A and B are shown apart, each in its own frame.
Chain A
């Protein structure tokens, strides 16, 4: 059973936590913040010995322009030491299989090394699976970098299917009822879609609060009116900081301890990515919980503008013999 601990700090203090970076992992995107993580490393004098970059095919094909790939290469200062993985954004299983293969073939590059992952522009299923694969190796130190956007634009379009994130189907006990914890985002329709698919006995919405900007806490509530229309659901509203995966994990753990005797718990990570990462931590520590996600028809290429604060989540994974409960 894995146990995850760590803390959140401003990315300006990277140097206090990492004296070197052996591996840097990130993805490409047309969101302006995609390169912030790498820039921060450079600003802090932490040149990664190797970079693994997810070159999402759909991103490269967005505008169908020659020179786009070269632009990303230049931004990340790609060299022969680095690895570009050409993967499909909508097929995280295959994408992460490629990563896993690389990991297996080059395990010495990961074992007991400092690894930093900038997940700011990765879609959630991707970093959920990335975490699963990384948990199978002993890293020295793991850091997740995240840069807040300044504003959000349209995030996704259409709906494909609501599915379990692969590897996170949990274990359902039929003797128990079903509870659904939804990390609220700005797309209320997707929350409703998950809710309608699961039809849980109890729903616990978790709002990102404190939020990146103070008004965001209200925006996410109003965007989720449809879900919160139900008095019981609204009464169950809880909070977790929008920028802190560890506190989100703690909030979920607190919920789990309250209800796991009577309920199977599913999580829908629709909130911010740090909250989703917290959901990932939680699901890895409590493997009987399931993670369910409303896959969209399309992730829109420029779903944010600008950037604000950056955070480093210094993370440690340990094996625990106990159930992992607090």
Chain B
């Protein structure tokens, strides 16, 4: 095959939900059934009570909200049934989607117009926007023949909307369609935009248009529609508001008020990043939104990853849809991403580290024992301990503690020796496990030790065998690196395919496993790009980056702890109430951008201790720092002084804090850790 002629596209190019039109969403979107399962969530996503959907960028929040919108649900129905007829019978709800555009919202401010005036203008604007969304929805339903709309009913709707906007005016409308109402609302919106543009650069500009009071259109149009169109009876009217975090504080109060005082059948679904609520207050003094009473909350990442298999299946299905779109892959049914990426077990990886390449069992067996003992660095470490500490017949003892087919077991034996286990004790444990003597108590002990520490042992093995590096490859690894964020997975696949398509196209086309090297490189590129983005987080980007780099160095040090006091440290805990305002905001910012992922708060050691907030470093960064991507051990609580030093301290303060919080490895390696902070 002439490889130059075959133009294979990367199946994972184009992974932004917002970039997808409705057809793409229907084509690519895999409905995460778990989110629509009331049992799984304790929340009815299509029920009466407002729901807040919290999740980082790329978790699938926008996809879900758009999927619920009337544009997509009607389109999907029509594609299936070739008609919109009976759509209203089947659907329990009708939804309109609106995304809060941050830069636009930032324009609702100017020095020559008071805050109060802007508040009023924003309320007016919101009414017009949502009102227009409703009229567009009615147009959509009409266009797709979901109901019959005779001219008199249509007229009634139009006049009803106009009067809601301006009750004092009398309107006579004939021979108009519902699109006229949409255009009318757009004209009113244009006046708002004119005011925004003029007031930014001129003094003395006044907003002279009649204001639509809060709720008049948002609740009024659905009420009107229900009156005129009995077909809509019994339907929920859901307002899907995405990127709530972009609203300014006063603007959030306005939306909170609507949510608090929502009038059925209207309800809300609010999509926001973590810590997206600047306030829970409403416009009424002393009133605020209360979880469970006024709304329910779903945290996307937690829900999607609660059941490991559900998330894996979801990713496989999403990947399958993409692969099917590429002719070469679809035709040959090379559409299972799990097969393409394969798996790389820790044991296989350990063998690759020790021998420098992939080796078959037979090749390992035939490898000369003497050569192995002299070349394998971890074996030398064992020998050193045996010789210096036990003065025994080290060679003979060594032979009882090693098995070149199982370098990770050898590393565990080394670890136990470092923890002052005697050689014969280690031998007993080892022998029981490899001999599969399940009756023996030593068997389960060794197994537990192995399971707990094997990943860190692998990292230590790598550390002994520099410049060999940790591989980040395999479907399971990619799932874990994704940290519950679908987009992370898609980007990992994108980068890996990019490299593989250039350097080993044949493997892909022939359905063989993608080279591990390509996957690892893809994961590293993704991690580096993620680090680049952190710096650009508005306001606190530099501080978040400083914190992340320091955490990477600290976690790396714990991985290299010779006695592995805590395995796979990738998170920390802190008493947030003790932090300064600035530090809290930085943590919030990091959480909002999913750089740190908050976990369930932890109890302190004593009953009187406050709850500690727990933050995990987003696993997507693991390849950047060369650390684990699982949540296992933890370190001591970070105190205020240390954490703030890591965020915005001087270089000296930062270095001292890192040293305090690190687990020091062998002498001579301290410098490496601090150098590490300068990485990238």
Taking A94-B111, A158-B542, A290-B104 as given, write out 11 further A-B residue pairs in contact, using a Cβ cutoff of 8 Å, ordered by the A residue number: A129-B201, A160-B538, A161-B538, A162-B103, A164-B103, A167-B201, A170-B193, A172-B193, A189-B532, A193-B536, A201-B21
Q: Within 8 Å CB of A96, what residues of B?
A: 201
Q: Is the CB of A169 within 8 A of B537?
A: no
Q: Chain A residues with Cβ under 8 A from B533's Cβ?
A: 189, 192, 226
Cβ-neighbour of B132 out of A174, A230, A231, A232 (below 8 A): A174
Q: A163-B103, A231-B10 are in contact. Are A169 and B132 (CB under 8 A)?
A: no
One digit per residue, 1 when the CB lies within 8 angstroms of any chain B CB and 0 when it does not, for chain A 148-167 equals 00000000001111111011
B15 close to A (CB within 8 Å): yes
Grouping DSSP codes into helix (H, G, I), strand (E, B) and loop, the B interface class, with mixed when no group exceeds half, is: helix
Cα-based distance from A97 to B10 in the complex (angstroms): 51
Pairwise interchain contact B19-A232, C-beta atoms closer than 8 A: yes
Q: Is the pair B535, A158 in contact by a Cβ cutoff of 8 Å? A: yes
Interface: A55 (CB within 8 A): no
Cβ contact within 8 Å between A231 and B13: yes
Query: B539 within 8 Å of A by Cβ?
Result: yes
- Residues of chain A within 8 A (CB-CB) of B9 are 231
Is residue A61 contacting chain B, with contact meaning CB distance below 8 A? no
B101 within 8 A of A: yes
Q: Is A322 part of the binding interface, using a Cβ–Cβ cutoff of 8 Å?
A: no
B106 touches A161 (CB 8 A): yes
Say if the beta carbon of B261 comes within 8 Å of chain A: no
* Cβ contacts B1-44/A at 8 Å (1 or 0 each): 00000000110011110110100000000000000000000000
Complex Cα spacing A167 to B202, Å: 9
B537–A159 CB distance below 8 A = yes
Closest partner residue, chain A, to B242 (CB atom): A199
8 Å CB interface, B524-576 against A: 529, 532-533, 535-539, 541-542
CB nearest to B111 among chain A residues? A93
List 14 contacting pairs A-B, 8 Å CB cutoff, sorted by A. A93-B111, A100-B201, A158-B536, A158-B541, A164-B103, A169-B104, A170-B193, A170-B197, A175-B182, A175-B186, A197-B103, A199-B243, A230-B14, A231-B13
Separation in Å of the B434 CB from the closest CB of chain A?
A: 47
**CB distance B536 to A189 under 8 Å?**
yes
Whether the Cβ atoms of A230 and B193 lie closer than 8 Å is: no
Cβ contact within 8 Å between B136 and A162: no
Which residues of chain B are within 8 angstroms of A13 by Cβ–Cβ distance?
Answer: none
A231 nearest in chain B by CB position: B13
Instruction: With CB as the reference atom, state the residue of chain A lying closest to B182.
Output: A175
Does B253 touch A at the CB level, under 8 Å?
no
Residues of chain A whose beta carbon lies under 8 Å from any beta carbon of chain B: 93-94, 96-97, 100, 129, 132-133, 158-164, 166-175, 177, 189-190, 192-193, 196-203, 226, 229-233, 287, 290, 292, 294, 297
Does B260 sit at the interface, judged by CB under 8 A?
no
B14 and A232 within 8 A (CB):
yes
Does B677 belong to the interface (CB within 8 Å)?
no
B236 within 8 Å of A by Cβ? no
User: Contact mask B109-134 → A, CB, 8 Å, 1/0?
Assistant: 01100000000000000000100110
Least Cβ distance of B591 to chain A in Å?
17
- Contact flags (1/0) for B181-199 with A, using CB distance below 8 Å? 0100010011001101110
Which residue of chain A lies nearest to B128 when distances are taken between CB atoms in the complex?
A: A174
Docked-complex contact A132 and B201, CB < 8 angstroms: yes
Tell me if A190 and B536 are in contact (CB < 8 A): yes
Interface residue? B516 (CB, 8 A): no
B200 touches A93 (CB 8 A): yes
Q: How close is B216's CB to chain A, nearest CB, in angstroms?
A: 18
| Residues 208 to 247 of chain B near chain A (Cβ within 8 Å) | 243
Is the C-beta of B494 less than 8 angstroms from some C-beta in chain A? yes
Nearest 8 pairs of A and B residues by beta carbon: A231-B13, A166-B200, A199-B18, A171-B193, A167-B201, A159-B536, A167-B200, A163-B106
Give the CA-CA distance A294 to B540 in the complex, in Å.
Answer: 15
Among residues of A, the one whose C-beta sits closest to the C-beta of B106 is A163
The CA of A166 and the CA of B195, in the complex, are separated in Å by: 12
In the complex, which residue of chain B has the Cβ closest to the Cβ of A195? Answer: B16
Q: Determine if B678 is an interface residue (Cβ-Cβ < 8 Å).
A: no
Chain A: CB-nearest residue to B12: A231
A190-B536, A226-B529 known; A201 vs B19 contact (CB < 8 Å): yes
B18 pairs with A169, CB closer than 8 A: no
Among A133, A168, A174, the one with the most B-chain Cβ atoms within 10 Å of its Cβ is A174
B99 cross-chain contacts in A, Cβ below 8 A: 199
> What chain B residues lie within 8 Å of A297 (beta carbons)?
539, 541-542
Residues in chain A near residue B189, CB distance under 8 A: 171-172, 174
* B167 at the A interface (CB under 8 A): no
User: With contacts A199-B18, A232-B14 known, is A192 near B536, CB below 8 A?
Assistant: yes
User: Scoring B residues 407 to 434 as 1 if CB is less than 8 Å from chain A, else 0, what string do you get?
Assistant: 0000000000000000000000000000
Whether B104 and A160, one on each chain, are in contact in the complex, defined by CB atoms closer than 8 angstroms, is: no
A277 to B559, CA, bound (A): 53
Q: Is the CB of B10 within 8 A of A199?
A: no
Contact B186 A201 (CB under 8 A): no
Query: Given A93-B200, A133-B201, A198-B101, A230 and B539 touching (CB < 8 A)?
Result: no
In-complex Cβ contact of A171 among B129, B133, B190, B541 (8 A): B190
